[in-house]
Amino acid sequence: MMRLSLSVITSSIKSLTGEAERISQGQLDHALSKGVVDEAGRLRNAFEKMRLSLKARLDELNRLLIVSQAVAFNLEITEALQPIIESALTTGASSARIALPPDVVPENDAIGAIPSRYGVGNDADNFAYFDDQLLALMKDQEKGRVVLANPARTPLLSFGPGAPRLGSLVAVALYHERTYYGVLWAAYDQPHSFTDEEVQFITTLGSQAALATANARLFMTAEFERERLAAILASTPDPVLVTDQRDCLLLVNAEAWGALGLGIETSIGKPVDEVISQIELVDLLRLSDEAPELVEVKLPGERFFMATASTITVDGQNIGRVCVLKDVTQFKELDALKSEFVATVSHDLRSPLTLMRGYATMLEMVGELNEQQSEYVRKIVVGVESISRLVNNLLDLGRIEAGVGLQLEMLPVRDVVEWVVESFQLQAQQKKVALRADIPANMPPLIEADQALLQQALHNLVENAVKYTPEGGKVWVRVQPRQSTILFVVEDTGIGISPVDQPYLFEKFYRGTDRKAKKERGSGLGLAIVKSIIERHGGNMGLDSQLGEGSTFYIEIPLRHGT
Ligand code: ADP
């Protein structure tokens, strides 16, 4: 007897041990066989309960994993929400639904309208009846949920005609970062007493749904902005190029493809210097402290563009450059036409002017003139001379701008300066203006320049200095050697130039607005000629002046042309 009952107990414990081992290895699908009602049998039942609850927990975790994967990998809202509502069904609900407020996801024409209602399960469509009520109800329940074991008895929901039968329901508000994204709710045919685990599970699903909706909204807003920017860029009539911080092309509009002759979008993401052949445009697009703001670019098809660029800065960091090109071909053509016109007219004026001057001077020779007649003749000669000066200036400017006849040679700097200063000595003495040249002994003796032009530039500056300096004043011409350039300085103690005039002085035909300056004769071309000459020599110029105290003009020219 003993042996028999012992063997029954041992075999029962043995099989229990085997089943416990199966559980411990994670095999939870196998149900434990029913035992007799003894101690071992009770143990067996306890194991079975443990197995079932463990299995339920694991299934739940698996579903949550699938849900969070769907949320993480899908920016498409429908695909992200589908596994969430399907998981909500597994709590025994007959239907599960998600309702989003109408304005939560922006409608994007490019992506299409976004559904605001999602449902699975039997009669899910009928239960849509409660969506709006629950949307309104849950809005005030941040992080909250509503569990109604017997909804018909609560005043929270109203059951009008056509309301489907509702045994019980659980609803969670979809809140993410304090924004309300809608409601997830599950409907049960029968009254249902909700376990804490079930409610917790639905709440977790709710937070995943809120995250999915927030992500989709973020993505769609970004996508919408991108589409809008692309549309703006595409409809911009001027070529636009945008680069990133690695100097690679980031955005290029259709006009720019056309103008640059690139045609293919494969250039996007490539370094600008690989894609664009115009060096000045490449320099403009590159992020650097010395990047210019404005350059003129010649593009295929004899088209000229004025390119302006600025650096894009976000939170104090430079993240790229944006460049807009303006077609100035027409203006260039007009400018060329204008210069040609001026050159032709001034050239044709020269001979009749010489003739007029000659005859006017000869009048005195062919007969006695009375005082009034002599005065008139003198006025005619002065007038003709001033037109001749203007015509000569215009012709010079035309020639210099056209780049005709730049004859470079190695010039002795001292001779050039002394020659110019000498030629004004008499005029300065008559005006009682002291004119002096300061040339240091250790000067580099030679500079590569066009003698006539360099002399003319200095001539115009000294002429102005003497002209705009009243009696008793001083004019100095100084030469200062620099590392690879020479600086010529013409300084005077004259009437000075008002700050209003200073920016425009080097423009053609600009004359000072000051009363004292207007008293002097002039065409307003002198400084424009100086500027043109200096530019042709690859130099630059500047000015310092104070009204009533004097002016200092600087011109700086490289010792060697092209350096
Ligand atoms: P302009 O024929 O009128 O002298 P410029 O181009 O040589 O033409 O000079 C332009 C204007 O600049 C002058 O009208 C004058 O107002 C001003 N200007 C030039 N040089 C001087 C100077 N040394 N002192 C004062 N004003 C000057």
Q: Give tens-digit pLDDT for 93-115.
A: 899 999 998 877 666 555 556 77
pLDDT digits (tens, 9 = 90+) for 319-366: 999 999 999 999 988 888 887 787 788 888 888 898 999 999 898 888
Nearest CA to ligand 1 atom 17: 512
Residue 476 Cα to chain centre, angstroms:
49
Please give the number of the atom of ligand 1 that sits closest to the Cα of 528.
6
CA 239 to ligand 1 centroid distance, Å: 40
pTM for the predicted model, two decimal places: 0.52
Q: How far is the CA of 513 from the centre of ligand 1 (A)?
A: 10
Burial of 258 (0-12, 13-18, 19+ CB in 10 A): middle
Rounded to the nearest angstrom, the gap between the alpha carbon of residue 168 and the centroid of all alpha carbons in its chain is: 56
Residues with CB under 6 A from ligand 1: 460, 464-465, 468, 492, 494-497, 505, 510-512, 517, 522-528, 551
pLDDT in tens, 228-284: 888 888 888 999 999 999 999 888 888 888 888 776 667 788 898 888 889 999 999
Q: pLDDT (tens digit, 9 = 90+) per residue, 172-221?
A: 999 988 889 999 999 998 888 888 888 888 999 999 999 988 888 888 88
Best residue among 435, 469, 497, 529 to mutate for probing ligand 1, ranked by most atoms within 8 Å of CB = 497
* Distance from the alpha carbon of residue 554 to the mean position of ligand 1, in angstroms: 14
Would you state the pLDDT for residue 344?
A: 82
* Amino acid found at 263: G
Nearest residue by C-alpha to atom 23 in ligand 1:
465
Give the position of tokens 């300066």.
417
Mutate to test the pocket of ligand 1, among 527, 533, 552 (most ligand atoms within 8 A of CB): 527
Which of ligand 1's atoms lies nearest the C-alpha of 460? 7
Q: What is the mean pLDDT of residues 62-78?
A: 79
Rounded to whole angstroms, the Cα distance separating 168 from 150 reads 5
- Closest ligand 1 atom to residue 524 Cα is 8
Residue 24's pLDDT is: 76
Print the SS3 string covering 298-334: EECCCEEEEEEEEEEEECCEEEEEEEEEEECHHHHHH
**pLDDT tens-digit series, residues 359-406:** 998 988 888 999 999 999 999 998 898 888 888 888 877 777 776 667
- Ligand 1 centroid to residue 496 C-alpha, Å: 9
Q: List the one residue out of 378, 370, 465 whose CA is nearest residue 421.
A: 465
> CA 125 to CA 118: how far, in whole Å?
9
| Best of 504, 511, 530 for a ligand 1 pocket test (most atoms within 8 Å of beta carbon) | 511
CA 545 to centroid of ligand 1, rounded, Å: 12
Measured from the CA of 465, which atom of ligand 1 is nearest? Answer: 23
Q: What is the largest CA-CA distance in the chain?
A: 173
Residue 39 has pLDDT above 90, yes or no: no
Whether the Cβ atoms of residue 144 and residue 199 lie closer than 8 Å to each other: no
Q: pLDDT tens digits, residue range 510-544?
A: 998 888 888 888 888 899 989 989 998 999 999 99
Which one, of 175, 99, 171, lies nearest residue 142 by Cα? 175
Report how far ligand 1's centroid is from the alpha carbon of 462 (Å).
Answer: 11
Degrees (nearest 5) of the Cα angle 234, 239, 242?
A: 85
Using CA atoms, how far residue 22 sits from 36, 47, 445, 447, in Å, is 21, 11, 103, 99
pLDDT in tens, 449-489: 988 889 989 999 999 999 999 999 999 999 998 888 999 99
Give the residue among 519, 506, 492, 478 at the shortest CA–CA distance from 428: 492
**Residues 404-437: tens digit of each pLDDT:** 667 889 999 999 999 999 999 999 999 999 999 9
Q: How far is the CA of 352 from the centre of ligand 1 (A)?
A: 28
CA 468 to centroid of ligand 1, rounded, Å:
7
The CA distances from residue 35 to 14, 503, 527, in Å, are: 12, 106, 115
Give me the pLDDT at residue 332, please: 87
DSSP for residue 344? H
Q: Which residues pair with 295 in a beta bridge?
A: 307
Which residues is 116 bridged to in the sheet?
A: none
Residue 501 confidence (pLDDT) above 70: yes
Report the candidate in 182, 133, 140 with the shortest Cα–Cα distance to residue 156.
Answer: 133
Predicted pLDDT of residue 460: 94
Cα 512 to averaged position of ligand 1 atoms, centre (Å): 6
Q: How confident is the model at residue 142 (pLDDT cuts 50, 70, 90)?
A: low
Q: Which residue has the tokens 């203007």?
A: 390
Res. 224: pLDDT tops 80: yes
> Which residue has the CA at smallest separation from atom 16 of ligand 1?
512
Distance 209 CA to ligand 1 centre (A): 76
- d(CA 131, CA 481) in angstroms, rounded, equals 86
3-state DSSP call for residue 174? Answer: strand
Residues 296, 318: Cα–Cα separation, whole Å: 24
In this prediction, residue 37 carries a pLDDT of 58
How far apart are the C-alpha atoms of 396 and 384, rounded to whole Å?
18
- Asked if 227 and 110 touch (Cβ cutoff 8 Å), the reply is yes
DSSP character for 513?
-
Say if residues 187 and 51 touch (Cβ distance below 8 Å).
no
Ligand 1 geometric centre to CA of 518 (Å)? 9
Which residue, by CA, sits nearest to atom 8 of ligand 1?
524
How much is the CA Rg of the chain, to the nearest whole Å?
46
